[in-house]
A and B are shown apart, each in its own frame.
Chain A
């Protein structure tokens, strides 16, 4: 049981994500299959199977994870190893082409800070829309809007259309909204740049608080520091497969190729 700031009591339902042998295959309709005669297996990206009429990228293969309430999972791996795709599988955006994926709980995916933001409308209106997209109600957002406005330090700019904002200001706004919600399952993809140092410190605190509020966290990042701060276990992705799953420091050591 937890009491939210709007005094509604929510029984913490069992939040979990379970997948079993889940695969995600992307058909690439506009690639000429003739030019991809051989199965390409490079360091970067998943496997490309061109035996089929339409080339298929096997983005994820045989993913078996079982995450329960309280899990704090870091996601490491090279570019194109399948971290973002895995996050989308865990959020339910991609249903597995084979295998099973079951998501219990309300998912708040934060993959791209800008998604759902409209440059033509004001910052305040964007706060509302972004919140609704993240599964909040209008009332909940009305309660949070002052807090978000304070956090962003944007002042009167919040009444200006978003297109007048600098990149950093947009990030502030997006971070403000994203860190104000009460997610059951929080899926974070890194991509927090372009903010000044003082603000980064401030948002880190909020991020930590957000993670504490959430029932389950999966966080993809290249930053050891961030991972250590937010996670206790980790999954190492390579070529669309899980290479290793376990305690954070162990996985990080193996991933960096250091002796255990």
Chain B
């Protein structure tokens, strides 16, 4: 610890921020748990509420849309459920990421901690939520068994990629909103809109193979939605469906480009965040 930390607008300082933040994992690990326990303090069931509310939403929407779209429940419900669990993670990282530094103003102004600490805490908290929600998935497997194959292990690297992307999005969007507060409501609306544009309650394959050529044609537009790719790399293995290479390629490309962009933002504006919040 004797060496001076690189400072200023350099890549070394940006990388050092990420590294030093990672070294403080006892701190953010503890805080992430604390956040969860905190939210359900004094409630009898505690964090089990995360699991229950996810189950209720997914089952209710599964039943509703299976009726509306005339898709069998045993096909739609698992689809909606896994989609919801993954979406909760994605949207959590983005919406909370957009205020990650604003919300931690007090800590940022009083403690010389690396910025990345707050982001790691956020992603860790969302990971814990995700783990709670996986219980619903496991119960669903008992009710509606899925044709799981060994490919289910792909869900692990897929989730890792999701978390990796959650981190850069939170860092980049967090820094930008700290400076331009108008981005905050914009981000929230975009995420809300993205929920409907992403095949969570509707099934992409059904539309692509629709007998109506116009609908099939239009459905292809969904490929432009980056969230579709993130969702598919993890939902497909979890439901025993075949992998598609292009989803992984797109996600990897976004991961690389996203982190490059974030390092640029970090290099230039990391040291400004404590002035802006």
Q: Which residues of A contact B (CB under 8 A)?
A: 13-15, 26-27, 29, 88, 91-95, 97, 101-107, 109, 111-112, 115-116, 118, 120-121, 125, 128-129, 132-133, 137-138, 184
Q: Once the chains bind, are A13 and B2 in contact (CB under 8 Å)? A: yes
User: Which residues from chain B sit less than 8 Å from chain A, CB to CB?
Assistant: 1-5, 7-8, 26-27, 30-31, 34, 37-38, 41, 106-113, 179, 271, 274-276
Q: Are B5 and A103 in contact (CB under 8 A)?
A: yes
CB pair A27–B275 under 8 Å, yes or no, is yes
Q: How far is the CB of B19 from chain A (nearest CB, A)?
A: 16
A88 and B4 alpha carbons, distance in the complex (Å): 16
* Nearest CB of B to A2, in Å: 14
Asked whether A103 lies within 8 Å of B31 as measured between CB atoms, the reply is no
Q: A132 to B26, Cβ gap below 8 A?
A: yes
Contacts of A91 in B (CB 8 A): 112
A contacts with B: majority SS: loop
The residues of B that contact A13 with a CB separation of less than 8 Å are 1-2
Would you call B26 and A137 a contact (CB within 8 A)? Answer: yes
Q: Contacts of A116 on B, CB cut-off 8 Å? A: 106-107, 110-111
* Interchain CB contact (< 8 A) of B112 among A29, A92, A125, A184: A92
Residues of A within 8 A of B179 (CB): 29
Measured CB to CB, the closest approach of chain B to A114, in angstroms, equals: 9
- With A121-B34, A121-B38: A115-B106 Cβ-Cβ less than 8 Å: yes
Residues on B with C-beta less than 8 A from A29 are 179, 276
B2 and A104 within 8 A (CB): yes
Contacts of A109 in B (CB 8 A): 110-112
Dominant secondary structure of chain B at its interface with chain A: helix
Known: A95-B271, A133-B111. A102 touches B4 (CB 8 A): yes
**Is B111 in contact with A93, judged by CB distance below 8 angstroms?**
yes
Q: In the complex, how many residue pairs between chain A and chain B have their CB atoms under 8 Å apart?
A: 79
B109 neighbours in A (Cβ, 8 Å): 88, 93
Q: A93-B110, A95-B271, A107-B112 are in contact. Are A129 and B34 (CB under 8 A)?
A: yes
A29 CA to B38 CA, complexed, in Å: 33
| Nearest chain A residue, comparing its CB with the CB of B8 | A95
Least distance between A22 CB and chain B CB atoms (Å): 11
Do B30 and A129 touch (CB < 8 A)?
yes
Residues B108 and A93 in contact, CB atoms below 8 Å apart: yes
> In the assembly, what is the distance between CA of A97 and CA of B271, in Å?
9
CA distance A139 to B41 in the complex (A): 26
Contacts of B41 in A (CB 8 A): 120-121
Nearest CB to that of A25 among chain B residues? Answer: B275
Interface centre among B3, B111, B113, B179 (most CB of A within 10 A): B111
A/B interface sample: 20 pairs, CB < 8 A: A26-B275, A27-B276, A88-B109, A92-B5, A93-B112, A97-B275, A102-B7, A103-B5, A105-B2, A106-B1, A109-B111, A112-B106, A116-B106, A116-B111, A120-B38, A120-B41, A121-B38, A129-B34, A132-B26, A132-B30
Asked if B4 and A103 make an inter-chain contact with CB atoms under 8 angstroms apart, the answer reads yes
Measured between alpha carbons, how far is A14 from B2 in the docked complex, in Å? 7
Residue of B whose beta carbon sits closest to that of A95: B271
Contact A104 B27 (CB under 8 A): no
Residue of A103, A115, A137 near B110 (CB, 8 A) is A115
Q: List 4 extra interface pairs beyond A102-B7, A109-B112, A129-B34, CB under 8 A.
A: A105-B2, A115-B106, A116-B111, A121-B38
Known: A92-B5, A104-B2, A184-B1. A111 touches B34 (CB 8 A): no
Q: Is the Cβ of A95 less than 8 Å from the Cβ of B111?
A: no
CB contacts (< 8 Å) of A92 on chain B: these are 5, 7, 112
B182 CB, min distance to chain A CBs, angstroms = 11
Contacts of A112 in B (CB 8 A): 106, 110
Query: Which residues of the other chain, B, contact A15 by a CB distance below 8 angstroms?
Result: 2
**In the bound complex, what is the Cα–Cα distance between A112 and B105 (angstroms)?**
13
Asked if A104 and B4 make an inter-chain contact with CB atoms under 8 angstroms apart, the answer reads yes
B274 touches A101 (CB 8 A): no
A120: which B residues are within 8 A, CB to CB? 38, 41
* Bound complex: CA A104 to CA B6 (Å): 10
Nearest chain B CB to A21 CB, angstrom units = 14
In the A-B complex, the 10 residue pairs with the smallest Cβ-Cβ separation, listed nearest first, are A13-B2, A95-B271, A115-B110, A92-B112, A132-B27, A91-B112, A102-B4, A104-B4, A93-B112, A106-B1
CA distance A93 to B270 in the complex (A): 11
Instruction: Determine if B31 and A129 form an interchain contact, defined as CB atoms under 8 angstroms apart.
Output: yes
